[in-house]
Structure 1
Amino acid sequence: MKKNTLFAIMILCTTLILLLAGCAKKEDSSNASATVKESEEDLKLVHDGKLTFAMSGLLKPLNYKDNGKLVGFDVEIGTEIAKRIGLEPNPVTNPWETILQGLKGNKYDVIIGSMTATEERLKQVDFSDPYYISGAQIFVAETNDTVQSKDDLGEKSVGVMQASTHKEVAETLSNDVKGYPSEIFALQDLIPGRIDAVITDKIVGVSAIKEQGMKIKTVDGVLNREEIAVAINKDHQALLDKINVAIAEIIEDGTYEKISMKWFGVNIMED
C-alpha cells in the first residue's frame, strides 16, 4: 500500500508540475504576442505586420517593374529596412505627382522612392536620415584630363538637359552651355569630344556608366548636395526612429554598400 501511495503521489506531483509549466509557457506566449501587438500599434502601420512603402515605379534602376514585379535600388533598401524592423516588406506604386498626398492620406506607411528632403516638403512630412546622396554632378570622358574641377569649366563646352535646373548651374560655371533633349544624348557626346563636360544628376551619370558602359567619369563631388531620404507622416515618431536605426545598421554592416554596388557600381552614399 505504501509503495502504491508513494507512486500515486509522485504521478500527481509530476502532473501538477507539467500543468504549471504549460500554463507559464502559455502566459509567456500570450505576453509576447501582446508585446508585439502593442509595439505594432505604436508604429501606426497601415497593414499589421507590414511596412508598406511607396514609389513611382518609373525610375530605373532606382525603382521600376520587371515582368510586373517591383525591383530596383529603392526596393531593396526598403526591403532591408522592413526586415530590420521585423516587418514584411510591402512595396507599392503611386503616381509621383500625388505621392505625398497618398502618404498623408495613409495609403502607405512611408515613401522610399528617391525623394529629396527639401525645406518645402518638410512643412508637410518628416524625413529619415539620408539613404543616399545625389545632386548635380560634372561628368567628362575618361580620357579628358583638362577638366579637374568646376573651376576649369569657364571656357569649356558643357552639355545639359534643356529646361532643367542643371542648366542654371552650368551657366554660372561656363560661357558655352549647350542644351539637349536628354541627359543621355549629352553624355554620349562626351566620348567623341563634341562637348567637354556634362552637368546632370549624379545618379543619371553613374547609372549610364554601370548600365551602358559609358567611358565617362565624375569630376569633384556633387555641386549641390541633395539628401535622399524616407518620407513619413509627422506623427509617426516611433516608426521613424526604427527606420533610422535600420539605415544605420545597413550602412555599418556593409549591406548598404553591397546593394549600391549591385545597382550602380559605386557607393552612392558618398558624395
Structure 2
Amino acid sequence: MKRSLFYFLMVLVVSLMVACSGNESNEKTETAASGAEEGNSVTSEMKLVNDGKLTFAMSGLLKPLNYKENEKLVGFDVEIGTEIANRIGLEPNPVTNPWETIIQGLRGNKYDAIIGSMTATEERAKQVDFSDPYYISGATVFISSKNEDIKTLDDLKGKTIGVMQASTYVEDAKKYTDKIKEFPSEIYALQDLPPGRLDAVITDKIVGISAMKESGLEIQTVGDELKREEIAVAINKDNLALLEAINKAIADMVADGTYKEISTKWFGEDLLK
C-alpha cells in the first residue's frame, strides 16, 4: 500500500513538472511571437509601392541636394532618404520624376514619398502630408557678379527673373515682375546669369551658394533671404504609419548625431541649426 502511494505521488510530481515546463515554454514562445509581431507591425501598416522598399522621388537636377553622378543618384537628399529607409527597416529606392509633376506622381502611387528638397507650404499641404523638416533654408535672389543695375530687391521690378518650374519661387518672382522664365532645374537658370540672358534668379540659398563654389559661376546674392523655408518629406495623406515612422527616423538621426554628420559632409554645417 505504501509503495503504491509512493509511486502515485512520484507520477503526480513528474506530471506537474512537465506541465509547468510546457507552460513556461508556451509563454516564451508567445512572448517572442508578440515581440516579433510588434516589431513588424509598423512596417506592415505602411502602404508601400514596393514591399520592403522605401521608394522616394526627387528631380535629380538639384546639385548638391540630388543629382546623378556616373548614372547613380547622389546628394544630400539621397543620403537623408537612405538613412530614413534604413532606420525604418526598408531598402532605400531613390527615383527621379520631373518636378512639375512630382506631387501628381506621389498621389498616383508611383512612389511612397518625395525627398527632394520640397518646401512645406499650406497650398501643398492640401494635397499631401509633410514630415517634420529635415533642413531649413531660404529663398534668395542671385544676380551676375558683373550686374551693376540691381543693388537692392526693389531694383528687381520689371526685370527678367528665372525660377524652377512649379516651385514656390514662381510666386516670389511675381511680386517683382511678369517677365518670368521657368526652368526644369535651378542650375540651368543660374547658368543664364553670367551671359546676361537673365537679370536675376530666385532659388534656394544652398543651391545658389553651392553653384558658386562648385561650378565657379560668377554670381552673387542680393539683399536678405526673401523668406525662411522648412524643407520636409511629402507623403500621401492616407499613410499615417509611414509618416510617423519617417518623423521618428528624423528625430533619431538628429538625436544621435547622424544628421549633423551628413549635413556637415555636404554643407559644412548643421542645416537644422
TM-score (norm 2): 0.67
Name the stretch that deviates more: 228-237 or 43-52: 43-52
Task: Sort the Cα spacing of 1:198 and 1:81 in 2 relative to 1 into closer, same or farther, 3 A.
Answer: same
1:183 to 2:186 alignment: no
Aligned counterparts of 2:39 and 2:59: Cα–Cα separation in 1? 31
Name which of 70, 75, 78 aligns with 1:75.
78
**TM superposition shift of 1:231:** 0.6
Task: Sort the Cα spacing of 1:155 and 1:220 in 2 relative to 1 into closer, same or farther, 3 A.
Answer: closer
Aligned counterparts of 1:247 and 1:121: Cα–Cα separation in 2? 21
Aligned counterparts of 2:262 and 2:62: Cα–Cα separation in 1? 16
8 Å contact 2:191–2:217 — kept in the other structure? no
**TM superposition shift of 1:131:** 1.5
| Paired position in structure 2 for 1:40 | 43
Name which of 221, 226, 229 aligns with 1:226.
229
1:110-161 Cα distance to aligned partner (Å, 9 max, x none): 111122222222111111112123332256899xxxxxxx996667999874
8 Å contact 2:135–2:230 — kept in the other structure? yes
1:200 alignment partner AA:
I
Aligned counterparts of 1:91 and 1:259: Cα–Cα separation in 2? 17
8 Å contact 2:42–2:241 — kept in the other structure? no
Name the stretch that deviates more: 56-65 or 205-214: 205-214
1:237 to 2:240 alignment: yes
Aligned counterparts of 1:163 and 1:49: Cα–Cα separation in 2? 37
1:64 to 2:67 alignment: yes
Measured on the aligned residues, the alpha-carbon RMSD in Å equals 4.3
Name which of 249, 267, 271 aligns with 1:268.
271
Name which of 28, 33, 55 aligns with 1:30.
33
8 Å contact 1:57–1:65 — kept in the other structure? yes
1:156-192 Cα distance to aligned partner (Å, 9 max, x none): 9998744774544567xxxxx9x9x832453x58xxx
Structure 2: unaligned runs, 5 residues or longer:
1-10, 165-169, 182-187
Aligned counterparts of 1:156 and 1:127: Cα–Cα separation in 2? 32
**TM superposition shift of 1:80:** 1.3
Name the stretch that deviates more: 93-102 or 105-114: 93-102
8 Å contact 1:114–1:229 — kept in the other structure? yes
**TM superposition shift of 1:102:** 2.4
1:212-248 Cα distance to aligned partner (Å, 9 max, x none): 3568776775212222211111122222122122222
Aligned counterparts of 1:106 and 1:141: Cα–Cα separation in 2? 41
8 Å contact 2:113–2:236 — kept in the other structure? yes
What is the percent sequence identity of the aligned residues?
A: 56
| Paired position in structure 1 for 2:117 | 114
Aligned counterparts of 2:272 and 2:135: Cα–Cα separation in 1? 4
8 Å contact 1:138–1:199 — kept in the other structure? yes
**TM superposition shift of 1:78:** 0.7
Name which of 124, 127, 133 aligns with 2:127.
124
Aligned counterparts of 1:69 and 1:155: Cα–Cα separation in 2? 41
Aligned counterparts of 1:200 and 1:96: Cα–Cα separation in 2? 16
Aligned counterparts of 1:251 and 1:259: Cα–Cα separation in 2? 10
1:234 alignment partner AA:
K
Aligned counterparts of 2:257 and 2:71: Cα–Cα separation in 1? 29
Name which of 200, 203, 207 aligns with 2:202.
200
**TM superposition shift of 1:205:** 1.7
1:28-59 Cα distance to aligned partner (Å, 9 max, x none): 44333333333222222333332221222222
Task: Sort the Cα spacing of 1:218 and 1:266 in 2 relative to 1 into closer, same or farther, 3 A.
Answer: farther
8 Å contact 1:117–1:227 — kept in the other structure? yes
1:36 alignment partner AA:
G
Aligned counterparts of 1:20 and 1:86: Cα–Cα separation in 2? 33
Q: How many residues align?
A: 243
| Paired position in structure 2 for 1:6 | none
